[in-house]
Structure 1
Amino acid sequence: MFTMKGEWANDAPPQLMILSGAGLSAESGIRTFRDAGGLWEGHDIDTVCNFDNWRDNLELVHGFYQARREAAAKADPNPAHDAVARWQTRWPTHILTQNVDDLLERAGCTDVCHLHGRLQDMRCYDCDYEWEHGLGPWTVDQDACPDCGSTRGVKPGVVFFGEMAPEYRTLQRAMDSLRPRDVLLVVGTSGQVLPVARMGLEAPGPTILNNLEPSDVIPDRCFDHTLYRPAGEAVAEVEALLARYLD
């Protein structure tokens, strides 16, 4: 569980805050969220990821996320995941991700805050029980909530459209805690869900953006450094920038 401990005290050494999105895991074969040819192509978002009607499409919802779990189970951390784990051991680092896979943890990262939930979790909305199911299969009308026995009240532990995202409070606290000597690194996110451009402008210290390509949603002027290439290819340059500010 991600925690905000005393590392953000005014007299603490420089900190690194990392916010990652789907682009971080793309090189591991996890298809991205909003890109052309990405995850949602061929699927109606309102059918498989809508909090208001997920019970009406229960078989399709669970089938869709079962396919996501299978893909995650087959994937391996890529050099960018490994780099984040290495940076966390080198500098005081706070990791927040929009990704629902566990590749950061498998690379060795700890205390990762999953802003949009995790594929391996389940939640029963008939009794409000949450548990870690893992990446194995879930069969509607056969598998059941371990607390109340419900078979049709169980939803994947991923934040759907229209659903509250409790960890957004953690993200806001982290942003509010940044000091002029702390570094904000944003990797692989479109900026269409979170206000990444505003985050870059409001961060009081150095800011780095590493995305695959430029976007009108995140103008270059919002970040001190912009690197447009796959996350794995940008590792060396990002690490050099981090060392400049944090060592």
Structure 2
Amino acid sequence: MKKKLVVLTGAGISAESGIKTFRDADGLWEGHNVLDVATPEGWYKNPALVLDFYNQRRKQLLEVQPNLGHQILAELENDFEVQIITQNVDNLHEKSGSTSVLHLHGELLKVRSTKITNYILDWESDLNFGDLDSIGNQLRPHIVWFGEEVPALEEAISIVENADILIIIGTSLQVYPAASLINFSKPNVPVYYIDPKPATIYDLPNDIKIIATTGSEGMKIVRKDLEKMK
């Protein structure tokens, strides 16, 4: 039986593909304050700005490709049961061939009803005022904004609890509750943490290997270790 390889990914792995992160620019995301475009308050205050912001992000996503880091994770499915838990709202993991991806913070290529729970649609074009659900409610980006509950959190915890190997790629470990997931791994599980500027991890009993580099370069290193663990 294949070992369970669980991978937690953040914005750093997608940055190599050209998708900008807001934490690299003092809270600005593509020139916007995240409070204006990634909170319920921002949506109520200026929904037109929020719709335009995500329309631009959607267009950008359709122009970029997965990088080597994404590709190695997809290839590892040949030898491991790979489950990816991502904070990213892009589809680059799926585009590279990964088949088990849980999106903690929503998906850019989906929209949902502002009123009906679980009314979610695939959406690759612009989302505008007047785009409604089946009973006339406005649609919104299918994004978990700051201050909103993370519906997939319990499933993510369960996945981490059952991991045989844990890899963390491209995350500052500053955004909660996602950052707390590593605490649910079993103490005997080896942990790899790949990030050019890795955060300090406290009070974790696991054997942690910190690799201070990009996702692509880090996964080349980790893949060699994993060859011995199949």
Q: TM-score, normalised by structure 1?
A: 0.83
Partner secondary structure for residue 6 of structure 2: strand
Q: Which residue of 2 aligns with 1:184?
A: 166
The answer as to 2:104 corresponding to 1:115 is yes
Partner Cα distance (1:23, 1:185) in 2 = 13
Partner Cα distance (2:27, 2:38) in 1 = 15
Change beyond 3 A, Cα 1:140–1:94 = same
Q: How much has 1:242 moved relative to structure 2?
A: 1.6
Change beyond 3 A, Cα 1:127–1:15 = closer
| Runs of at least 5 residues in structure 1 that lack an aligned partner in the other structure | 1-11
Q: Which residue of 2 aligns with 1:163?
A: 148
Q: Which residue of 2 aligns with 1:237?
A: 221
The answer as to 2:19 corresponding to 1:34 is no
Q: Is the 8 A contact 2:37 2:50 kept in 1?
A: yes
Partner secondary structure for residue 229 of structure 1: coil
Partner Cα distance (2:219, 2:203) in 1 = 19
Q: How much has 1:230 moved relative to structure 2?
A: 1.0
Q: How much has 1:85 moved relative to structure 2?
A: 0.4
Report the RMSD for the aligned CA atoms in angstroms: 2.4
Per-residue CA shift, 1:133-157, capped at 9, x if unaligned?
A: 322111224xx2241233xx32100
Q: Which residue of 2 aligns with 1:6?
A: none
Partner Cα distance (1:26, 1:106) in 2 = 15
Q: How much has 1:111 moved relative to structure 2?
A: 2.1
Change beyond 3 A, Cα 1:197–1:87 = same
AA at the equivalent of 2:50: V
Partner Cα distance (1:145, 1:128) in 2 = 14
Map 1:1-247 → 2, pairs under 5 A: 12-36=1-25, 40=29, 42-128=31-117, 130-141=119-130, 144-150=131-137, 153-178=138-163, 182-193=164-175, 194-195=178-179, 199=183, 203-216=187-200, 218=201, 224-245=208-229, 247=230
Equivalent residue pairs, number: 227
Partner Cα distance (1:16, 1:126) in 2 = 37
Q: How much has 1:26 moved relative to structure 2?
A: 0.8
Partner secondary structure for residue 244 of structure 1: coil
Per-residue CA shift, 1:191-226, capped at 9, x if unaligned?
A: 01133595388543111000112334x369875211
Per-residue CA shift, 1:143-200, capped at 9, x if unaligned?
A: x2241233xx32100100111111111111122223xxx1100001110113359538
- Percent identical across equivalent pairs? 32
Change beyond 3 A, Cα 1:240–1:163 = same
Q: Is the 8 A contact 1:48 1:64 kept in 2?
A: yes
Q: TM-score, normalised by structure 2?
A: 0.88
